[in-house]
Structure 1
Amino acid sequence: MFFSERPPEVLDQWEGLTNVLSRSSELPELPDAATWAEMGPGERDAFNNRRLDYLGADLVISTPQLRAVVRKAQLAVLQNRSRVAGRLGVLISGESTMGKTTACLAAMKTIYGRYALQYPQFMELDHKPVIYIEVPAGCTGKAVVGRFAQFLGLPIRSRDTLESLLTTVVGQLQKSRTVLVVVDEIHNLSTVNNGNGESVDVLKSLSNRVPATFLYAGINIHLGPLLTGDRGQQIRGRFTAEVLHRYMTATTTEKALWKKIIESFEHQLLLFNHHEGDLAADTEYLHDRTRGSIGSLGRLLTGAAQWLISTNVEASDETITREVLESIPLDIDASENWLQSDLAHMDDGK
């Protein structure tokens, strides 16, 4: 039960992305106490595996920020329907652990689902409505195009020039009827050098030649050199931006939203003895612990739930307590902040 039987999916390959986007996000139903008591060890292990896989698949919480990203992506796709030039795009920015890739997935899943409804036979027609690539650090223009080629399953030969490879990729994207192209980790192009400048030009060329909407995502790209100079001005003139930020609790409205986000996670934790609202007394603790990062909050709560499920405790013991939360390690950034906050509280108590 400790290891998943489901092979991991890779987003930057068509088959893996398709599996993720077409996977049902329906919440598994917990059996009642009597049914659980009657289950044999094998049945319980199988159900626990389902719970662990669901919790490990990056729960998507419908926050205002995530809804804004999805809406902007949908609107850009609509506005680009008949454009032959100057197509609009979307830029997602923010610090690490703010949920940028999760927001990308939500946008891709929405567009993919709408396309599948309109064109039920799209798989047989070899359409690829959604494309996802990650930009490698310090890459050249050819390396960026190579990522598209790999996603599309196109051969890459050492003798291929940038232009020949670009022409092949453009042709395949047009043939694939691609409507949304997600370029993640684009902050890797923020350093000003010839290779990165060439890569930005390649992305611009692709957006001009492929009738698709481009969505860029990266760490604090709204503050970096990617949006400066002539190249940056072109992006600023065509892209709408959604900057994902930490959730604050300074006002009553902010506190209510943070509490609602926690409850949304609780609703999906699949524990027998933990229910939505049970962490109401710990909202301030959870904010201090995670610095208001939805990514850190998700890892903390799902990690606690997975630990309780994997340790084979009784159904009545499946409750997330402060002790359980304290036992779950978080990312270095959140942990350092929590230590500083803890020390500050100690000083205040002197």
Structure 2
Amino acid sequence: MDIADAVCGILTAAHCALAMVVEIHNINRATSTGKDLSDHLKYSAEHIPATFVYAAINVEREGLFTGVRGKQIAARCVMKYMGNFPYRAEWRSMIALMKESLRLHDHGHGSLVLLAKYLHSRTGGSISSLSHLVCVAAISAIADGSERITRRSLESIPVDHSTQSDSPRTPDDGDGEVGDAA
């Protein structure tokens, strides 16, 4: 545990208040590596005075909380079920922040926010689907020289399989927005 002690010491000295561990559903506790990682998570949570957030999908079905080690982790956790974003002000704010990170020369201020309802319809409120869609659209806009994201360009990009299979969507989402946002 020498490395674990060093990491705990550094994070404690740095006054780490929040530790996020993502994709814990990938821990395979049937392997010695998975067992060691499980033990390290428990050890870290006991020795670092921080709030630990573990993010995963289907965590209960993956068996992370079963067996002796799993029950020890489960005893230290409060489960919070999350879903996709509903179409509310937070969704529009997130899209506005994404727009600000784009460096497209011909993409007007607030233009992506005008497509917020359409983007929600296309992605089902999934952050990962939204991120992929906007990223591919931005790369395409740079490659074709247009330097802007439009509804037409977004319609030409397929969404991920998970989003497609969860809820089929049509390009006409009935939001009253027609054509391209400038």
If the TM-score is normalised by the length of the shorter chain, which range does it land in?
0.5 to 0.7
* 1:323 shift after superposition: 0.8
Take 2:10 and 2:53, find their aligned partners in 1: how far apart are those partners? 11
Take 1:229 and 1:200, find their aligned partners in 2: how far apart are those partners? 11
Query: Is the contact made by 1:174 and 1:210 (CA closer than 8 Å) also made in structure 2?
Result: no
Question: C-alpha offsets along residues 121-155 of structure 1, whole Å, 9 cap, x if unaligned?
Answer: xxxxxxxxxxxxxxxxxxxxxxxxxxxxxxxxxxx
Query: Is the contact made by 1:262 and 1:283 (CA closer than 8 Å) also made in structure 2?
Result: yes
Whether 1:288 and 2:129 are equivalent positions in the alignment is no
The correspondence of residues 331-346 of structure 1 with structure 2, limited to 5 A, is 331-337=160-166, 339-341=168-170
Residue 128 of structure 1 corresponds to: none
Question: Residues 309 and 293 from structure 1, CA distance in 2 versus in 1: closer, same or farther, beyond 3 angstroms?
Answer: same
Residue 143 of structure 2 corresponds to: 310
Take 1:229 and 1:195, find their aligned partners in 2: how far apart are those partners? 11
Question: C-alpha offsets along residues 134-180 of structure 1, whole Å, 9 cap, x if unaligned?
Answer: xxxxxxxxxxxxxxxxxxxxxxxxxxxxxxxxxxxx22332455556
Question: Residues 195 and 302 from structure 1, CA distance in 2 versus in 1: closer, same or farther, beyond 3 angstroms?
Answer: closer
Q: Which has the larger radius of gyration?
A: 1
195, 203, 213: which one pairs with 2:30?
A: 195
Take 2:24 and 2:173, find their aligned partners in 1: how far apart are those partners? 37
Query: Is the contact made by 1:288 and 1:338 (CA closer than 8 Å) also made in structure 2?
Result: no
Question: C-alpha offsets along residues 190-239 of structure 1, whole Å, 9 cap, x if unaligned?
Answer: 7xxx8259834662267438975466443221565322454333212223
Whether 1:235 and 2:46 are equivalent positions in the alignment is no
Take 1:344 and 1:274, find their aligned partners in 2: how far apart are those partners? 23
Question: C-alpha offsets along residues 80-134 of structure 1, whole Å, 9 cap, x if unaligned?
Answer: xxxxxxxxxxxxxxxxxxxxxxxxxxxxxxxxxxxxxxxxxxxxxxxxxxxxxxx
134, 147, 150: which one pairs with 1:321?
A: 150
Take 1:205 and 1:271, find their aligned partners in 2: how far apart are those partners? 43
* 1:291 shift after superposition: 1.0
Query: Is the contact made by 1:263 and 1:276 (CA closer than 8 Å) also made in structure 2?
Result: no
Question: Residues 224 and 320 from structure 1, CA distance in 2 versus in 1: closer, same or farther, beyond 3 angstroms?
Answer: same
* 1:303 shift after superposition: 1.7
Question: Residues 182 and 330 from structure 1, CA distance in 2 versus in 1: closer, same or farther, beyond 3 angstroms?
Answer: same
Matched letter for residue 329 of structure 1: P
Residue 171 of structure 1 corresponds to: 2
Q: TM-score, normalised by structure 2?
A: 0.67
Take 1:343 and 1:196, find their aligned partners in 2: how far apart are those partners? 48
Question: Residues 209 and 277 from structure 1, CA distance in 2 versus in 1: closer, same or farther, beyond 3 angstroms?
Answer: closer
Q: TM-score, normalised by structure 1?
A: 0.39
Matched letter for residue 172 of structure 1: I
Matched letter for residue 171 of structure 1: D
Take 2:44 and 2:135, find their aligned partners in 1: how far apart are those partners? 42
What root-mean-square deviation, in Å, do the aligned CA atoms of Structure 1 and Structure 2 show? 3.6
Question: C-alpha offsets along residues 271-305 of structure 1, whole Å, 9 cap, x if unaligned?
Answer: 22223421344222111111101111111112211
The correspondence of residues 23-34 of structure 1 with structure 2, limited to 5 A, is none
Task: Point out which structure has higher relative CO (alpha carbons under 8 A, 6+ apart).
Answer: 1
Residue 59 of structure 2 corresponds to: 221
Question: Residues 243 and 208 from structure 1, CA distance in 2 versus in 1: closer, same or farther, beyond 3 angstroms?
Answer: same
Take 2:92 and 2:101, find their aligned partners in 1: how far apart are those partners? 15
Matched residue SS, 1:239: coil
Residue 17 of structure 1 corresponds to: none
Query: Is the contact made by 1:247 and 1:258 (CA closer than 8 Å) also made in structure 2?
Result: yes
Take 2:86 and 2:45, find their aligned partners in 1: how far apart are those partners? 40
- Tell me how many residue pairs correspond in the alignment: 164
Residue 275 of structure 1 corresponds to: 108
Calculate percent identity across the aligned residue pairs. Answer: 32
* 1:325 shift after superposition: 0.7
